[in-house]
Amino acid sequence: MPTESSGHLLANLVLFGRVLRGVGLDVNPGRLMDLVKALGFVSIGVRSDFYHASRSLLVHRREDIPLFDEAFQMFWQKPLADWELHELAGRRIKRRQPEPLVAPPSIQADAPQESLPEDAETRDVLEVEKTFSSGEALSEKDFSELSEEEIVEVRRLIAALVWRLGERRTRRHRPGRGGILDLRRTMRRSLRHGGEILSFARRKPREKPRPLVVIADISGSMERYTRLLLHFVYGLTQGLGQRVEAFAFGTRLTRLSRHLHERNIERALSGVSHAVVDWAGGTRIGECLHTFNYDWARRVLGGGAVVLLISDGWDRGEPDVLSDEMARLRRSCHRLIWLNPLLGSEAYEPLTRGMVAALPYVDDFLPVHNLASLKQLGQHLERIH
């Protein structure tokens, strides 16, 4: 039959479990029963034995140890009178390491009660409300609606995106489980066995990432998006390296690749600002694509390149010229993707002359107006083969 002191110990253990649950530790009745059984094998009067037995059975995460230590120190100190337990059920205690805050425990009416000295120090229990991260809050927000502080955060999130391009098969082969016999390697292997062929070596096509060409509109109608889209193009260039070629256009075409390969983003964007002479001006998409097709296409579209054309489609040039140059560009690349920031609006319809002339030659027509659309673009690029 348990003695009076053992009854007090069990009541205090149950109360200690309530305190630990209140501060966020995963303590259940089963673990408390394990502790009660374990105390029969240690010297309860030795504080270190009791502490280590309790910690090993009630703490299961390293980050919970400082919180447990403070609760243990406060609860199992020299008994004070009249402990008062704040209701902790259903509340979250903010974890602050290495100085977590724990409320002093109390006992129920049927448990032994003692008085608390008048000069005893009281401690507050801190509650924290569930909040969303800034990345989640900004993910769906249109680039044109961001404040200056949000733009700084979005730039950081864009720089953290990881880009991968789908791979294409080349004419070269490498050892692997393919369908092509490698007779030379088969004969070389057979020399180990006196010329006896025991297995056939095979080859499979070698794969390499596709080149990526970005042609971005920096005209006046795109001004709300230009700053962040340049950070996006810079992130692509840094993530994919020499496989990326970048151009900007308004009324004329400007190559940006040399500047965007600069490792320092400030120097890179400064070089871009000096290289482009038609910022926020008019738009002549057809004439600029004509320049690209005749001056640059053969240099940068080899190897089955993917082309990203970023524009809202507002064009002051002739639709027939744009239509012809889009057809030529489509024949020269593996896949032509048009990214339109206005496509993020549910009310948008591609009815401008430029979009009507270009859309028949576009493989993918995608939005590029917020962080979520950039992440979807990354997944799309990775699936291209």
Query: What are the tens digits of pLDDT across the range 49-67?
Result: 888 888 888 887 777 888 8
φ, ψ for residue 202 (rounded to 5)? -130, 165
Regarding predicted confidence, which is higher, 356 or 68?
Answer: 356
pLDDT of residue 126: 31
Q: Following DSSP, what letter does each residue of 8-28 receive, concatenated?
A: HHHHHHHHHHHHHHHTT----
- Backbone torsion region of residue 287, taken as left when φ is above 0, otherwise alpha when ψ lies between -120 and 50, otherwise beta: alpha
Q: How far is CA 48 from the centre of its chain?
A: 44
- Confidence band for 291, pLDDT divided at 50, 70 and 90: very high
pLDDT of residue 134: 54
Kindly state the average pLDDT of the residues 263-280.
89
Structure tokens at 113: 């009660």
Task: Tell me which architecture the domain covering 210-383 has in CATH.
Answer: 3-Layer(aba) Sandwich (3.40)
State how far the alpha carbon of 183 is from the alpha carbons of 172, 196, 203, 204, in Å: 16, 13, 10, 13
- Alpha helix segments (H runs only) across 23-64: 29-38, 47-58
Regarding predicted confidence, which is higher, 81 or 195?
Answer: 195
- Confidence band for 135, pLDDT divided at 50, 70 and 90: low
- Confidence band for 212, pLDDT divided at 50, 70 and 90: very high
Find, among 60, 123, 129, the residue nearest to 91 by Cα: 129
Question: pTM for the whole thing?
Answer: 0.61
State how far the alpha carbon of 140 is from the alpha carbons of 154, 158, 263, 325, 369, in Å: 11, 13, 29, 34, 9
**Amino acid of residue 91:** R
> Start-end ranges of CATH 3.40.50.410 in the chain?
210-383
pLDDT tens digits, 68-120: 888 888 777 654 444 444 433 333 444 444 343 344 344 343 444 444 444 44
Regarding predicted confidence, which is higher, 132 or 332?
Answer: 332
pLDDT of residue 132: 43
Instruction: Name the most confidently modeled range: 171-180, 183-192, 243-252.
Output: 243-252
Neighbours of 366 (CB within 10 A): 16
**Mean pLDDT for all residues in the chain:** 80
Residue percentage of the chain with pLDDT more than 70: 82
- Lowest pLDDT segment from 142-156, 191-205, 256-270, 302-316: 191-205
Find, among 231, 230, 238, the residue nearest to 212 by Cα: 238
pLDDT of residue 263: 87
Dist CA 221 CA 223 (whole Å):
6
Tracing tokens 């290495």 back to the chain, one arrives at 98
Note whether 101 and 123 are within 8 A (CB). yes
For the chain, list the strands marked E by DSSP: 167-181, 202-209, 212-217, 244-249, 253-255, 306-310, 335-340, 364-367
Dist CA 197 CA 222 (whole Å):
66
Dist CA 233 CA 256 (whole Å):
10
Structure tokens at 166: 């789908």
Note whether 366 and 339 are within 8 A (CB). yes
pLDDT tens digits, 157-170: 888 888 888 777 77
Dist CA 262 CA 270 (whole Å):
10
pLDDT of residue 104: 39
